[in-house]
Structure 1
Amino acid sequence: MDSIAVKKHQRILVVCGVKNSGKTTLIEKIVHRLAEQGVKTAVIKHDGHDFSSDVPGTDSDRFQKAGAYGTAVFSPHHSMVVKEECNTGIEEMISQFPEAEFIIIEGMKNSEYPKIELVRNGISDQPVSNPEGRILIVTDYEKGKFEEETVGFEDIEGLLCRLHLS
């Protein structure tokens, strides 16, 4: 069986690490490479705090500030729905992308989903995620520092190969 969890036709991977470890940059590179291969990929970002959901001054932002619990914007090629709700779960977020072949979740270091963790020299020195499901560490530390298999930050092809995506 693949090292990536299979849910129906979707493969799910968590990319985690401490703040400023390079998660977003690595995800961009993975998404770009998968898009080149024709893999329909969605990214879900988990924010442990709270976030601003719209561009200040736009109509939908004004509707939210006026008290709307939800807003939606759509065009022929895009849609966006923002709702104020508590305790939205990851399964609900995943269900928003039924057509995606691959879903990357940024954050959720304590989940049991298959995950890769970024450990960057000068930012962190040990993995901080739940070891359950951790399959690879992306790092700039020397080989052998960690029990898990490692790959370098720039080795996107090696990373995708280890995840059976290349």
Structure 2
Amino acid sequence: MKEKKPKVFAVSGIKNSGKTTLVEQLVTRLTQLGYKVGVIKHDGHEFVADHEGTDSYRHKAAGAKNVIVYSKTKMMMVQEHEEPSIEKMIAYQKDMDIVILEGMKYSAFPKIEVVRSARSKESVCDPETLLAIVTDVPLETSVPLIGLNDIEGVLEIIKEKILSPLN
């Protein structure tokens, strides 16, 4: 039996451009439409998954290389390793229909970029990878421009360019 691979695209843009808000809205709507959605977020800074004082932090401080914390409904694994490949992280999401990458503006993945007048006023992504730009700025571009609050417009692009083979 062939293993299912999720459809993958990125929501990109500069820091504080509104990527997380757009991803949150997309996850909500795609889930309402019946898709199983996973998210992989790139953090340009080293983050602490478990903070000082927690048992898992204490285990890591004592020298554990892997720590898994779980409950009845969740699991989190903190693992020391070299920078993981995006392909490996996508493989962890193999049961999903769709995986949204937050960030990854310089990757080869198809992407929707957020450009806001309050931040940059220009696209920073490779035009060859852009599906659309979500913006409040009039830009000269060959890809569709979608208003910041037009989540249905963004969904139409995703359905047409990313999901059409799933339908």
- Global fold match (TM > 0.5): yes
How far has the Cα of 1:132 moved from its partner?
2.9
CA distance in 2, matches of 1:56, 1:138: 38
After alignment, is 130-139 or 104-113 more displaced?
Answer: 130-139
Moved over 6 A (4+): none
Match of 1:15 among 11, 14, 17: 11
The CA RMSD over aligned residues, in Å, is 1.8
Give 1:157's aligned residue: 152
Alignment partners' CA distance in 1, 2:148 and 2:4: 30
Q: Which shifted more, 132-141 or 23-32?
A: 132-141
Local SS of the residue matching 2:72:
coil
Match of 2:83 in 1: 87
Q: Does 1:68 find its partner at 2:38?
A: no
Contact 2:30 2:37 in 1 (8 A): yes
Give the match for residue 101 of structure 2: 105
Cα separation, 2, equivalents of 1:55 and 1:35: 30
SS of aligned partner of 1:105: strand
SS of the aligned residue for 2:152 comes to: helix
Q: Separation in 2 of the partners of 1:49 and 1:127?
A: 23
Structure 1, gaps ≥5 residues long: 1-6
Deviations 1:75-131 (A, max 9, x none): 232111111111210000001111100000011111111101111002011111223
Give the paired residue count.
Answer: 159
Cα pair distance change 1:86/1:139, threshold 3 Å:
same
Greater Cα shift, 145-154 or 115-124: 145-154
* Equivalent residue, structure 1, for 2:47: 51
Distance, in Å, in 2 between the alignment partners of 1:98 and 1:78 is 17
Q: What is the aligned-residue identity percentage? A: 45
In the alignment, which residue of structure 2 is the partner of 1:27? 23
Give unpaired runs (5+ residues) of structure 2. Answer: none
CA–CA distance in structure 2, aligned partners of residues 56 and 12 of structure 1: 34
User: Separation in 1 of the partners of 2:13 and 2:76?
Assistant: 27
Q: What is the SS of the residue equivalent to 1:163?
A: helix
**2:134 aligned partner:** 138
Amino acid at match of 2:85: G
Q: How far apart are the structure 1 equivalents of 2:147 and 2:31?
A: 21
1:117 to 107, 113, 117: 113
Q: Which one has a larger percent helix, Structure 1 or Structure 2?
A: 2
